[in-house]
Structure 1
Amino acid sequence: MRKYKKHILWFSITVFVVVNLVLVLFDKEEKIDRVSFVHSWTNSHEADLVEMLYKPGVIDVAGEEHIYFDTTSGVFQEFMVQEGDMVTSGEPLFSYEVQSYYETEVNLNQQVSQVEGELAAIQSAITQMEMFQIPEGATGTPSDVTLNEEELEIKFPQNTVEAELLRQQYLIEKENELSQKTAELQSLEAQLMELQSSGNVITVNSPFDGRISEIKDSLEDPVITIQDTTLQVDGEFTEEERTKVEAGLATQMEINELPIALEGTINEVSDHPKEVGLESASVYPFSVSIAEEDPEVLEALLPGYHAEIGIIMEEALSATTLFEDSIFTNHVWKLHTNGQLMKSPIETGLHVDEQVEVVQGVEVGDVVANQPSSQFRHEATFITPIQVKELSKSSFTWNQWARSFVTGILSR
């Protein structure tokens, strides 16, 4: 008898399971209430996502200037500086005695006129760029704009930030040119005044600030080389990296042997490789300007120090972010407060490491399911495992547990 009852019990259980499976399989209109088990979930959060490209670099001088002496213009007298000396604009470098007063005076006047014209052109370009307003298109993004200034043509990108960055970079370059040309004009005017005063002797002053790195007693040009006091960080890009990087990108740098962190901007990326070879990979030099004003920090930096350059390729600040294991082919499973699991389409943006920017479809604080994805069904009631670690004595009081339990039974 017991054996007979046992067979009946097992038969009943089997029939029950099979009937329920059949009902679920043929429930085309989803009239049967389904439950999704959510084992783990997470909250969307706010984060700053930054995609970086890391390259080694070395500190070097930003450039050097050369001073020339035309031996046909006169007889050299003496150098007034030595190698290693620091000079400022207007400081005397060397003197010579002219051979022809009138010829030298005419030549200096011509040079003064030429530099004055170049100064006027630079100042005009700066004024036009300062007055230029990046136009906004109908969609809220700037249109492509071509700015013609004599032989200069600038095409602004559509991105507002990139266009403004390009404008600021252009102004900085022109201000530097203006400063150099002004110093050159002052040097020429000083030579002209001295010639007119003495009649036959000219002292050549430095048009630049810097350090005297080389003097040629043989008077072979350039007779003096002046290294810029401004430092920069140099590096090299591979062919693939060169296609992705342009001037103007912000950088973060760390000096290997010093506890110094610096910020900067890529100011130049070469269009030509260091060497061209059919069997060798090409590398493209680039330089980074150092945005540091603390004199103590700048004094600690020396040419030759190595650095790690972090180039900010793309960034999304204060972005709504999810970990990649919460995203399923451009959608997420939201755990709504009404107890339903909802399949929600999303639009993603920047992807950095395991974090993904969510541009649309998720707000900060939304709860989304992680796994097991095989249990997830749209608009299904979801259940989650008990969080034992979060249980306390108060969890088992009537108000906190029993009432919710009875309410759940009655609602079913």
Structure 2
Amino acid sequence: MKRRTIFYTTLTLSLLFVGANTYLIEKANSKVDREVRVANWEISGTGDLAKELPKSGVVTAEEESYIYFNDEFGSFKKFLVKEGDQVKSGTPLYEYEVTDQTQQKSVLESEVEQLEDEIDSIEDNIDDLESLESSLPSTSTDDKEIPIDASALQSEYEIKKEIAAKELEIDRLENQIDNLERQISDIESYETTLTVQSSVDGTIKDLSHAIDNPLITIASQATIVTTDLTEKEIVTVEENMSAIIQSDIEKESQKGIVTKVATLPKNDPHLQTDSMYPLEVKLQDTKNKLLPGHHVFLSIITEEVKGALVVPVTAIEKEGTSTFIWILTEKGTVEQRKVKTGLQVNGQQQIKSGVKAGEYYIVYPGDIPALENGTPFITGIDWNRIRLRDLKKVDRPTVLENLLVGILERK
């Protein structure tokens, strides 16, 4: 008896299942006919995009200072330093014997006057820069902060950078004046052997033992990374672009900024050779362990967008000059939405307009041949998105209907 009951019950349920399926398939305007199944869909969100130019680079001294010797009024005696020595401003570099004290004093005084004129000119230039800086829009007021244009911020940064560089130049010139005035004082004291001191900090790179000029070359302690750009690369890189520096010496990558982009090739142009343009990147970490001669890997950020609305390129469709993305609307239909795109990096596409963060989109619209604007859609079950308390709010007939449609639509 029990076996017969089980048999008839199973048969009845099977006939009901087949009958329901047949009815839904044959029914005019059936959802099975009208709906499309979307297997891959995501919610739109924001992210950062950066387009990088990879280059190999080498660390070198940021600046080189040259010490000259005029043998017209004196004779060289000896070096007081050797190659590789670390020197500071005021470190004795070499001695020379004065042969014509009166004439040498006149020459030194003339050099002091020239340096003082240079300082006056630089100070006037600093005053002009400070006036220009004060004319820029303020970033805040006493009452509240107000937004200012990004170009104004960039201009303020450039002005401050230029002022700082000129103040450093004044310090260097003043050190040179101190050195010259000390030599003048020695001559007035009837000293015949004079000592020349360094006006900068750095490392002795080269000594000319043949007493040729420059007599001494001093490399600055500050380092930069240099590389060469091709003809195509040079047009994509500008000063003040960010860069990432990696090396085998430092475990962590370092940040840098492009400080110089040459407008002339490093060698004379030739029809049969490619032109290469030097580029310099300044390291922002002054305590790095990289030394001149170390080889590094550079990533120059040529384009960057922060907080951009980003979707995979697979979600983008093009028709002529127009670009579209398929949106899953709250009405349960698909919508072909025209969008404006921006930066594309590593398979990720920036959406400038047309879609808002939080909207759902189809990841692979090309895999859905029946996709038409306004068509109702169904999606596969994503158990991670389902919550029991939400299911309790849905009435049973709706659950059964959608379950049947889903089974029939499944491939």
TM-score for the superposition, normalised by structure 1: 0.77
Q: Identify the match of residue 220 of structure 1 among 212, 235, 250.
A: 212
Q: Partner of 2:7 in structure 1?
A: none
Per the TM alignment, residue 241 of structure 1 is displaced from its structure 2 partner at its CA by: 0.3
Over 3 Å counting, the alpha-carbon distance change for 1:220 and 1:35 in structure 2 is same
Runs (5+) with no aligned partner, structure 1: 1-12, 24-32, 143-157
Q: Partner of 1:281 in structure 2?
A: 274
Per the TM alignment, residue 216 of structure 1 is displaced from its structure 2 partner at its CA by: 2.5
Q: Partner of 1:322 in structure 2?
A: 311
Matched, 1:118 2:111: no
Runs (5+) with no aligned partner, structure 2: 1-21, 138-146, 404-411
Q: Partner of 1:28 in structure 2?
A: none
Amino acid in the other structure paired with 1:46: T
Rounded Cα–Cα distance in structure 1 between residues aligned with 2:112 and 2:273: 48
Rounded Cα–Cα distance in structure 2 between residues aligned with 1:391 and 1:62: 56
Tell me the alpha carbon deviations over residues 87-133 of structure 1, each in whole angstroms, 9 at most, x when there is no partner.
11111112223233332222222211111111122222233223324
Over 3 Å counting, the alpha-carbon distance change for 1:403 and 1:73 in structure 2 is farther
Per the TM alignment, residue 285 of structure 1 is displaced from its structure 2 partner at its CA by: 1.5
Q: Identify the match of residue 264 of structure 1 among 252, 256, 272.
A: 256
Over 3 Å counting, the alpha-carbon distance change for 1:398 and 1:202 in structure 2 is closer
Q: Partner of 2:399 in structure 1?
A: 405
Q: Partner of 2:381 in structure 1?
A: 387
Rounded Cα–Cα distance in structure 2 between residues aligned with 1:195 and 1:393: 93
Q: Percent identity?
A: 27
Over 3 Å counting, the alpha-carbon distance change for 1:200 and 1:364 in structure 2 is same
Per the TM alignment, residue 321 of structure 1 is displaced from its structure 2 partner at its CA by: 1.0
Regions of 4+ moved over 6 Å: 395-398, 406-409
* SS of match in other structure, 1:346: strand
Q: Partner of 1:148 in structure 2?
A: none
Tell me the alpha carbon deviations over residues 348-372 of structure 1, each in whole angstroms, 9 at most, x when there is no partner.
2211111111122222221012324
Which 10-residue stretch deviates more, 372-381 or 393-402? 393-402
Tell me the alpha carbon deviations over residues 190-233 of structure 1, each in whole angstroms, 9 at most, x when there is no partner.
22222223354432111111112222233222221212111111
CA RMSD after TM alignment? 3.2
Q: Is the 8 A contact 1:77 1:94 kept in 2?
A: yes
Give 1:345-384 correspondences, 5 Å limit. 345-370=338-363, 371=365, 372-384=367-379
Q: Identify the match of residue 239 of structure 1 among 221, 231, 234.
A: 231
Q: Is the 8 A contact 1:105 1:192 kept in 2?
A: yes
Amino acid in the other structure paired with 2:262: S
Per the TM alignment, residue 407 of structure 1 is displaced from its structure 2 partner at its CA by: 8.8
Over 3 Å counting, the alpha-carbon distance change for 1:98 and 1:351 in structure 2 is same
Matched, 1:105 2:139: no
Amino acid in the other structure paired with 2:276: V
* SS of match in other structure, 1:339: coil
* SS of match in other structure, 2:286: coil
How many residues matched? 360
Rounded Cα–Cα distance in structure 2 between residues aligned with 1:197 and 1:319: 71
Rounded Cα–Cα distance in structure 2 between residues aligned with 1:48 and 1:321: 8
Q: Partner of 1:151 in structure 2?
A: none
* SS of match in other structure, 2:251: coil
